[in-house]
Chains A and B, each alone.
Chain A
Amino acid sequence: MKEYSGWLFDLYAHPKHGIDLWLVGEDKKPHSFHQSFQVTFYAGGPVHRRRQLWKFLKDKPVRQTPTQRKDLYTGIQDVLEIKTEPCVYEELFREVYKCFPDLLYYDVDIPLLLRYAAEFNVFPLAHFKVEVEQGWNISNVISLDTQWELDPQLPDFRILHLRPDSNPSRNIPKSLLAHFGQFKYCLSLDEPRRLLSRLNSIFQQYNPDVILTSYGDTWLFAYLEELSKETKIPFNPNRDISRSVHKKKEISFHNYGQAHYRGEQVHLFGRWHIDDQNCMTYADYGLMGAIEQARVTGMPVQEMARRSPGAGVASMQNLEAMRRGVLVPYQQQKGEAPKTYEQLVIADRGGVIFEPLLGIFQNVAIIDFVSMYPSVMVEYNISPETVCVDEEDAWTIPELNIKVSSREGLIPATLRPMVNKRVKLRRRLKKMKKSDKAYQSYKASSDGLKWLGVVSNGRLGFANAIFGRINAHEALSFIVRKMILRAKEVAEDHGFTVLHVYVDSLFICRTDATKEEDFQSLLDEIERETKLPIELEAIYSWMAFLSAKQNSNLSVPNRFFGVMPDGEYKIRGLALRREDTPLFISNTQLQILEILKQEKDPSKLTHLLPYVVSIVQESFSALSDGIIPINELLVTQTLSRELNEYKTPSPAARAANQLQAIGRNIRMGQRIQYIYVKTKQGVYAWDLPDPVNPTWIDITKYKVLLFSAVYEVLQPLGVSRNVLKNWIFGKASYLVPPGQLVNRQDLPLFANLKYLHVDI
């Protein structure tokens, strides 16, 4: 018997029996093994039906045992345990479900890796040891790692980057850029034989663990497969060359009210493939964040990198349930407990979002609860099975008339270690400099966990979540509202002005509070009062809260910007943060902010207006002169519905129609790029084969967009639309000269009543 230690890299069903498992060894080499492993699922329901199922399965390749298992809501249940080989499981279950749709099924829709993780207490990228018998058969697995390790030891991955020289949906790429280790190659696509040979040689010699591509899912691997057929030169990107690549179909879906599109996916065996153009939140945290998410959730890295964090949270819950011996129901959710209309009015609300005070404020601090929703779930034991219970020792939320059990629920148990880990990571990051070696890796891990925390709240109320229940979601939102309002009270008790409240953050200022230590007693008291971790995010030299576009007297919660003493911004809701703003307009807005950030005293910001106005005038002149590169005028928008569902087509839909007319496959959630033009349709799709004629460009439309973006950042300084128009277009200064405006909040009501002024 031999022992191997390393990191769990990949795992999938063997074509005949058991599983194939890949380990990246401590010797930095990949090793593959075979292991006997069976998939287990359960069927519950009336005894006679279970008996019929037993008879039905008698002659199939399964092992059946009547047993008892715990259901999360109803306790111990009689069920039929069915074990089978992973390679036949999916087909077998489809057959069973078709013949016995009335039975209740458990532990069905669970990836193989998660089942393995639950059984052997390991997880993707776990540091572990295997004992191997003859024939590379694993006889024992010993975990050397936990998911909650702050400094996990990870292997040095061999990463191969592949990307075409242009976006294949727009231009036919001419070359493929390959980057691995110290080497960078530009492989011409004009010589298919040479290309395939070079790639095969890279795969053989460098033997990458990870292939990071751009457009790998939607173009590259399909293109290479086609070339391989044409040239008859074999090409297989898998490490396990007995397999062909695994493809998953394209999909359009809604997530948190937004339309998304995920193109066809290409998954590999024995190595990972991640296409950065076909992922949801991967861009926010990169490979390290995806690895952290995979370690914590138990989902395969290739899957986790592409999927939404919601899928990760569901996976965590399933893993915890299986480890606790709790059944994971198939396509069922606990129904809503009835409530009165009055209770519904109280319960059916989200987080608290204030309307901020309008204007610019000095020394604004943002304090926010760390992972607030998961922290509340953990601290107040909010879980679908713990709310609306009838237990003597349960605690009550009188406003909602519900009782919450004091026995730890499945969701708090799942989230507790994750919340603790994120709080520790955040506190470590706070003490580090951004230039520190480990900063980026901690940041990626923290951001990966942040997304899991963010969606854990939504999962509780999500109609398709297995471990969700609307009453639990309402109880959670209620407690969160209560806690943030309590924090607001405490801040005001400490003499702070609360400028804004945004779900889990408070924007506060006090004339004498300018340093971190000035906030410590406040943070301590809030933590004591709410039992939730809270942190000072940053102190901003100044922060501007913007008004609504339709009414300058009304504030809006999600449009503000501020500057830290080191010049870093916090920007929300400005044009430059929006996906549909052309680059040229974003750049102009950024240039204005660059000027404004030079002044730390908000009362002197108006002194910078002459510089701002000259920059803006230059931008308008550049637009009129037609010297802006066309790609900087590109507008990108996501299709919010299928094309045939538009009653009044948006500009993006009109551009998408042009693409569909030339045979392109257009689906909801796809990003469409276009230019505003002076034609009847008003737009020209960027991906059309003929380039746009520069004389068609609708300069007036872009001037309107630019003006709005400039006004957006100048309006908190007291600049009105008319004054700005005069400065820019009239080049006039007779109304109010630039640099001589007074900030709006400094204007006393009687500023104009000069007769009350007495000169001595």
Chain B
Amino acid sequence: MGHTLPSTTQLIFEQIAELKPLYTALRRADQLVLDNFFEDILQHRAAIGNAANLLPMEILPFVILLEERKRNNRIHNELFQLLEELEKKLLQLPSLEVSEDAEL
């Protein structure tokens, strides 16, 4: 029992720790974005572990991209849905008829 190599979680935390100098030199707003990236990475530990890559850092950007794409898709879908609803509602509005004797 027990493993010779560090676990995926350990590896990820090591990678995050290595980015500390970069992190500290960023503005707070940018640091928060980076925090989101780290959360995305930690949510995919099983997949990163299964990739069994010698250099886990190579895998991490893919995971971040994957989460970003999911967010983009979600935003896209919701926007599209809202636009559809908007279109439907606009169609239901009474059409504007201009009478001849109307004063402009």
Contacts and interface: CB of A to CB of B under 8 A. Distances in A.
Interface of A: 256, 341-342, 344-346, 348-350, 352-355, 458, 461-463, 481, 485, 501, 551, 553-555, 748-750, 756, 758, 760
Contacts of B93: 760
A346 B46 CA distance: 13
Contact of A756 (B45, B54, B82): B82
Interface of B: 1, 3-5, 39, 42-46, 49-50, 52-54, 74-75, 78-79, 82, 85-86, 89-90, 92-93
B1 A346 contact: no
Nearest to A750: B78
Given A345-B52, A749-B75, A756-B86, A461 B1 contact: yes
Given A349-B49, A750-B82, A256 B42 contact: no
Contact of B50 (A342, A352, A461, A555): A352
29 contacts: A341-B54, A344-B4, A344-B5, A345-B5, A345-B52, A345-B53, A345-B54, A348-B3, A348-B4, A349-B49, A349-B52, A350-B3, A352-B46, A352-B50, A355-B42, A355-B45, A355-B46, A458-B1, A463-B1, A481-B50, A485-B50, A501-B46, A551-B39, A554-B42, A749-B74, A750-B78, A756-B86, A758-B89, A758-B90
A300 B73 CA distance: 62
Given A749-B78, A758-B89, A760-B89, A348 B42 contact: no
A555 B44 CA distance: 10
B21 to A, nearest CB: 22
B89 A256 contact: no
Given A342-B54, A501-B46, A462 B39 contact: no
A486 to B, nearest CB: 13
Contacts, number: 55
Given A346-B52, A349-B52, A760-B89, A554 B43 contact: yes
Contact of A256 (B1, B54, B78): B1
B82 to A, nearest CB: 5
Contacts of B49: 349
A349 B54 CA distance: 13
A757 B78 CA distance: 13
A349 B45 CA distance: 13
Contacts of B39: 551, 553-554
A350 B45 CA distance: 13
A501 B92 CA distance: 48
B83 to A, nearest CB: 9
A376 B86 CA distance: 56
A349 to B, nearest CB: 6
Contacts of B43: 355, 554-555
Nearest to B85: A758
Contact of A348 (B5, B53, B82): B5
Contacts of B42: 355, 554
Nearest 10 A/B pairs, CB to CB:
A346-B52, A758-B89, A354-B46, A348-B5, A553-B39, A348-B3, A355-B43, A345-B52, A348-B4, A461-B1
B82 A760 contact: no
Given A348-B4, A355-B44, 14 more contacts: A256-B1, A341-B54, A342-B54, A345-B5, A345-B53, A350-B3, A352-B50, A354-B46, A355-B46, A458-B1, A485-B50, A553-B39, A555-B43, A758-B86
